[in-house]
Structure 1
Amino acid sequence: MPKKNTPIPIITLPPDLDVGILFFRTSIKSLKGLVKEVQQAHRDNWHLFTLQIAGTTVMEVDFQMNIIKSHAAAYMHPSQVHRVVAFKDADFYSLIIDNKSLKPEYLKMLEELSPVKPLLLDKKTFALLNDIASICIKIFNNKESKLRASLLKDSCHTFIAAILSQYLAQSNPTDTSTRYDIIAKAFKSALEENFTRIKSPKEYAKGLNISTPYLNECVKHTTGRSVSYQIQQRIILEAERLLYHSNKSVKEIAHELGYDDHSYFIRLFSRVAGMTPLAFRNKNRE
């Protein structure tokens, strides 16, 4: 059993980077020294975009198995707990970028989209992304260029935009967002930022300058579920992450998630997850 109060590990960017960006091509051979680290459940303090060129990468992301095959793109949000389960002849490009280096408009879109699954690309889109990735890596490796930082940011944002456009096309193919969609996205963004502090649908509605019934109508129309359901699911997901990947006590987890009364938190978790927090921890650590 791990030491008490072990937190979920966070892998951080090297401190000596002049720009908060890493772009590299990786094969299973070059990953030998890092395999152990990435096979342990962790979070990153960056956004991760990958383009799978060949082979297969299997990842567990928030208790779901993702199989990333060749000619696929994938995005990982910093909040997601994940680990690599297996590589098979894997060859892929990776873009790592921190919040400060990411365009605010792209950051907003990614917050609204997340979480997303790996996306299989058609030949034309894959070829385009592969070409952009080749340019990005050349710029990244050209340390002597006087405009390297600007060139790198611009080229990497082109890569991000190309991936984003595919996810956006998949989530909203006709590009005709309704008022319901816009409000539901705004709620999701507010929820992600405030779920440990704000638990009331009324408070979220107030923050969006709309009535609680109207917020509920918009969210229900878009997701099929109520605002209260979405709030509870986000809290329980974070609780499950902490129960499984850390050794914090249930009381500590309840406090971290904004509950002073840990007995109430236990009742909430048991009702939503169908078992007590300790039963969930014991079941998933067997």
Structure 2
Amino acid sequence: MAKKKTDIPFYSLDAGAKAGIEIKRLTELGTEEIPFNTAHRDDHYIFIFQESGEGTMVVDFKEVHVQGRGIFCILPGQVHYGVVVESAVVWFLALDNALVGEQFRPAFEGRQQLVAIDDAAAHRLRSCIQLVHDLHQVLGEDRFQHAVLRSLIDAYIGLFAGIFSEENRLADDTTSRTGIITRQFKTLLAASFRQMKKPAAYAAALNISPSYLNEAVKAVTGMPVSYWIQEEVMTEARRLLHYTDHTVKQISDDLGFDDHTYFSRSFTRTAGMPPLAYRKAYRK
């Protein structure tokens, strides 16, 4: 009898992660040594810098293939796992959410592709992450060491964000009023989508009118508030259908729906098929 799939594993940083940081350089990594080969999610950010080799991972149902040099960011809550790795040299940096500055986060949100990098960018990243690693190894109680480490982390994430922003040709000014509102909405949405399903609820929480919230979010993202609420809820529904054996009613309850038949109709409208048909079609 197949083992019943319960909740998707959800991992936090190890208790031994100093200052909310876990950093590793993995060399000659092969498929048999993949440290994350089963589907799970984390409550923190993960920044991956592959110096060489080849690898494939799946993040929220999208396959990401890395050949040669490249960078990638896994956001808190995304379900991911490694598939294949061949002779890879990889820098792995896991960071407590508080260490990822608000000014950098928009560069990574909603972008699940690998970004290839050139020699100059690889050299800058390698130099910076080596400094982070060396200081983290000897980190003690000295407050100046902690301040320097935080600055180095900002520099490293800033390099990532700059590369991602250039690759995606971000046109929105994330320091503008509309950019700030959109960022605040996305942060609130990630934390509250189970309880809050109406645009008006988010507007009230942000102390602005629903029309202004919708105008700001649509100006920055091209899509209205209702789209992003539905996208967040249905992405989580797909995760639970794919990676657990929870019933449709259990999933509906988990997502904060009072009526599981309404949830089923909403899912069918979005996915083009009922929840159980989706599970049968897409889960291996």
Pairwise same-fold verdict (TM > 0.5): yes
Supply the distance in 1 between the matched residues of 2:168 and 2:243 (Cα, whole angstroms): 30
Unpaired runs of 5+ in structure 1?
none
Supply the distance in 1 between the matched residues of 2:140 and 2:222 (Cα, whole angstroms): 53
Which residue in the other structure is 1:225 paired with?
Answer: 223
Deviation per CA, 1:84-126: give whole Å up to 9, x if none.
11112211111112235x15xx156426742322222233222
Supply the distance in 1 between the matched residues of 2:230 and 2:269 (Cα, whole angstroms): 10
Which residue in the other structure is 2:158 paired with?
Answer: 161
Deviation per CA, 1:213-259: give whole Å up to 9, x if none.
33223333333322212211110000001111112111111111111
Gap change, CA 1:52 and 1:5, over 3 Å in 2: closer
Residue identity in the other structure for 1:38 = F
Between the aligned residues of both structures, percent identity stands at 32
RMSD (Å), alpha carbons: 2.7
| Match runs of 1:164-175 below 5 Å | 164-171=161-168, 173=170
Higher mean Cα deviation, 192-201 or 219-228? 219-228
Residue identity in the other structure for 1:53 = E
Deviation at 1:143, TM superposition (A): 6.4
Q: Does 1:137 align with 2:133?
A: yes
Supply the distance in 1 between the matched residues of 2:276 and 2:76 (Cα, whole angstroms): 26
Gap change, CA 1:184 and 1:17, over 3 Å in 2: closer
- For residue 203 of structure 2, the aligned residue among 188, 205, 216 is 205
Residue identity in the other structure for 1:27 = T
Supply the distance in 1 between the matched residues of 2:229 and 2:204 (Cα, whole angstroms): 15
Supply the distance in 2 between the matched residues of 1:137 and 1:31 (Cα, whole angstroms): 24
| Match runs of 1:1-286 below 5 Å | 3-4=3-4, 6-29=6-29, 32=32, 34-35=33-34, 38-100=36-98, 102-103=99-100, 106-107=101-102, 109-110=104-105, 113-116=108-111, 117-142=113-138, 149-171=146-168, 173=170, 176-177=173-174, 178-286=176-284
Deviation at 1:265, TM superposition (A): 0.7
Q: TM-score, normalised by structure 2?
A: 0.87
Gap change, CA 1:254 and 1:187, over 3 Å in 2: same
Deviation per CA, 1:109-157: give whole Å up to 9, x if none.
4267423222222332221111112222222334689676555444333
Supply the distance in 2 between the matched residues of 1:188 and 1:166 (Cα, whole angstroms): 22
**Is the contact made by 2:214 and 2:224 (CA closer than 8 Å) also made in structure 1?**
yes
Higher mean Cα deviation, 270-279 or 167-176? 167-176
**Is the contact made by 1:99 and 1:107 (CA closer than 8 Å) also made in structure 2?**
no
Gap change, CA 1:200 and 1:70, over 3 Å in 2: same
Aligned length: 281
Q: Secondary structure at the match of 2:81?
A: strand
**Is the contact made by 1:23 and 1:94 (CA closer than 8 Å) also made in structure 2?**
yes
**Is the contact made by 1:47 and 1:99 (CA closer than 8 Å) also made in structure 2?**
yes
**Is the contact made by 1:250 and 1:278 (CA closer than 8 Å) also made in structure 2?**
yes
Q: Secondary structure at the match of 2:63?
A: strand
Q: TM-score, normalised by structure 1?
A: 0.86
Gap change, CA 1:30 and 1:149, over 3 Å in 2: farther
